[in-house]
Amino acid sequence: MSVRKLKPITPGQRFRVVNGFDTITTDKPEKSLLAPKKRSGGRNNGGKMTMRHLGGGHKQKYRIIDFKRDKNGVPATIKTIEYDPNRTAFIALVSYKDGEKRYVIAQNGLKVGQTIISGQGATPDVGNTMLLSEIPLGTTISCIELHPGQGAVLARSAGSFAQLMAREGKYATVKLPSGETRMILVTCMATIGVVSNSDHQLLVSGKAGRTRWLGRRPRVRPVVMNPVDHPMGGGEGKSSGGHPRSKNGIPAKGFKTRSKTKASNKYIIERRKK
């Protein structure tokens, strides 16, 4: 993991900080694991814009990722560590002993030629996927399931990780990246280690055009809009826009939108930090 600060030979490179890509081993993806990725530009089937700030960007292909890691007991060798335009983390191409190839989320420290395994009886080494019931307490984990067999949904982005705090009965207590502490069934799977590309947060794009390449269009501040366009718009000069709220009028900054009757509330021991 490393970053590079570019020399300011153009205005767009003056403050730009790029990824060193020193862990990436190839720039050619596995063709059998690619899928087409259609763009909507934020418009629905009637052509009406329903999502703002989307559109344009470089053409991309989706990499089919194995989030379930359900090939239990079969060792897999890491062939390459690759960049994925669809996520902040790097991905690893693994080849199983029976010849099947799959993409998985790469953890920090994974190297080409290393062997990983999933399922019961796996050792708590980086890259191995195990049941929460078998992982030693205090271990740093990522790519966590919320329901058995669902596939990883928690702690999947670059540099994120959770910690296994305790086990009691059929539930394990896990401290998530947001600071939330919640109970998860011990029959759920998790991968050992921290998600790769932890320097992602240090990157600086350098110019607005790079954001456009990613398919994000400019965003206008609500306070400079007219009252017809936003609840915070209007007023003479730099007058305040009133209480912070969304375009639909939902208050922001402290207003709780989570349902008080949500079924999963009983599994949350400590809420995330504000």
In this structure, which topology does domain 3-200 adopt according to CATH? Answer: OB fold (Dihydrolipoamide Acetyltransferase, E2P) (2.40.50)
**Mean pLDDT to the nearest integer, 256-272:** 93
For the chain, percent of residues with pLDDT exceeding 70:
99
Which pairs from 22-29 meet CB under 8 Å and 24+ separation?
23/81, 23/90, 23/196, 24/81, 24/82, 24/83, 24/90, 25/80, 25/81, 25/82, 25/112, 26/80, 26/82, 27/82, 27/83, 29/61, 29/63, 29/82
Residue with tokens 């080849």: 95
Q: Under 8 Å CB-to-CB from 266, ≥6 apart: which residues? A: none
The Cα 23–Cα 1 span in angstroms is 7
Q: pLDDT tens digits, residue range 218-234?
A: 999 999 999 999 999 99
Helix and strand numbers, DSSP H then E, in the chain: 1, 15
- List the chain domain ranges: 3-200
Nearest-Å Rg of the Cα atoms of the chain is 22
Distances (CA, A) of 134 to 40, 44, 102, 118, 270: 43, 45, 24, 12, 24
**Mean pLDDT to the nearest integer, 157-179:** 96
Per-residue pLDDT for 238 more than 90?
no
Q: pLDDT tens digits, residue range 38-69?
A: 999 999 999 999 999 999 999 999 999 999 99
Per-residue pLDDT for 25 more than 90?
yes
**Mean pLDDT to the nearest integer, 103-126:** 95
Per-residue pLDDT for 215 more than 80?
yes
Per-residue pLDDT for 241 more than 80?
no
Per-residue pLDDT for 72 more than 70?
yes
Per-residue pLDDT for 1 more than 70?
no
Per-residue pLDDT for 240 more than 80?
no
